[in-house]
Structures are given as structure tokens and as C-alpha cells.
Amino acid sequence: MTLPSIQYLLDLSGTAFFAISGALVANQKSKPDWFGVTFIGFITSIGGSSIRDILLGSYPLSWVADPNKVYVIIISIVFTSLFFNLFLKMKKTFFIFDSLGIAMFTILGTEKAMMMHLSPLIAAIMGMFSAIMGGVMRDVLTNEIPVIFRKEIYASACLLGALVYLLLNYFNFSRNICLIVSVAVIFLVRVIAVKYKLSLPHFKRE
């Protein structure tokens, strides 16, 4: 029996977290039924990777090819229902896991695009899409301002981390070094930006 890789376990962990966050947001917005919450949880978890795979022409989609992701999402939704009040009190903890989740999803998405021999810029964009588009779709469906339009640094942190990964890979650093450093960059940029309320310059308008 072959043990799953660390990257695969992190992928499943990120999937679980985004399912939980989607369920929490859905329930706080409109008190939907189980189907509604589960649907938002699915969209939040697999929305980004699905858009990436469609754009890359990679079929079947990652969650279709790997039913374990579907099981993880369902279990996460049930788990959220059982410990809903506890999760609401763990906002700081969720922020940490959210930051780690988008960091890992960014790099995994970038690597997948690289394996398809796309240009580095496109690979970085695909990595960013993997991390943020599920949250964007969740926000649209729950009538929230999409996360990429808020003042905090989010998508740009993912794009920066993807570019760092590509740069390290270009200079032939080991995969583990590339992974650890780029994930750390995304995480630290996100944490520092939120702590000190940093944001990108506003687009000029009359």
C-alpha cells in the first residue's frame, strides 16, 4: 500500500478548509437548507481548480478524477454543522488556515500548468486562479463583495508567490525549497498586509 504524498494530504486539507469556510459564510448569510450549504461548500472548494482545469483543457476535472475530494467536502460540511459555534469563535485560526490554503493551492496550480509546458506567466495566473476563484464564486453566490475587490491584499499575494516559485525553479532549486519558500512568501505577505492594513494603490478615477 502506497502512502499518500504530503502534497496530496495538503491538497485534501485545503479542500476541507475551503468547504468549511463556504458552509460558514452560506449559513450566516441566509440560513439555507443542507443542499444550499453543501452547494456553496463545493463551489468554494473546487471552483478555482475547476476553472483552472477548464482553461488548461485538463480533463477530467481534478475532483471528478479523484472522488476523495468529494468525500472530504461532504465530511467537512457535516463537521461544520456539528461544531458550528466553535468554528465561529476561531476567526484567527481560520485566517491562518485560509492563508496557508491559498498558498498551497497557488503553488499546486502553478505546478500543474508548468507540467503542461505553458509559459511561466500563464502558469502563475493559473496558480492564482486555483487559489482565489472558489472564494470569488462563493462571495458572488452569497451576495458579498468578491474578495479580490476588497482592500486587503489577496490575489496579488498569490501571484507574487507563484512568481517566486517560478524564479526558484528556473535556478534549479529543489522542489521542496521552491514549495516551502513560495508558500511562506504568500503566507507572510497576507498576514503582514492584514495586520498592518496594507493594500495596493487605488485605481485613479475622476
Over residues 179-194, the pLDDT tens digits come to 889 999 999 999 999 8
C-alpha distances (whole Å) from 133 to each of 86, 154, 177 are: 27, 11, 26
Quote the pLDDT of residue 151. Answer: 66
- List the grid coordinates of 116: 503542461
Name residues of the chain where pLDDT drops below 50.
none
Domain borders along the chain are 6-195
For the beta carbon of residue 126, count every other beta carbon within 10 angstroms.
27
Strands (E), 97-177: none
Quote the pLDDT of residue 38. Answer: 92
Quote the pLDDT of residue 95. Answer: 81
Cis peptide before 32 (omega within 30 of 0): no
Quote the pLDDT of residue 110. Answer: 94
3-state helix, strand, coil in the chain (%, to 5): 80, 0, 20
Quote the pLDDT of residue 2. Answer: 66
Quote the pLDDT of residue 49. Answer: 92
Quote the pLDDT of residue 205. Answer: 65
Can you give the pTM of this predicted structure?
0.86
- List the grid coordinates of 6: 504530503
pLDDT of 146-186, one tens digit each? 878 876 788 999 999 999 999 999 999 998 899 889 999 99
Cβ-based burial of 84 (10 A; exposed 0-12, middle 13-18, buried ≥19): middle
In the block, which residue shows the cell 462563493? Answer: 138
Quote the pLDDT of residue 84. Answer: 84
Residue (of 112, 131, 134) closest to 123 by Cα position: 112
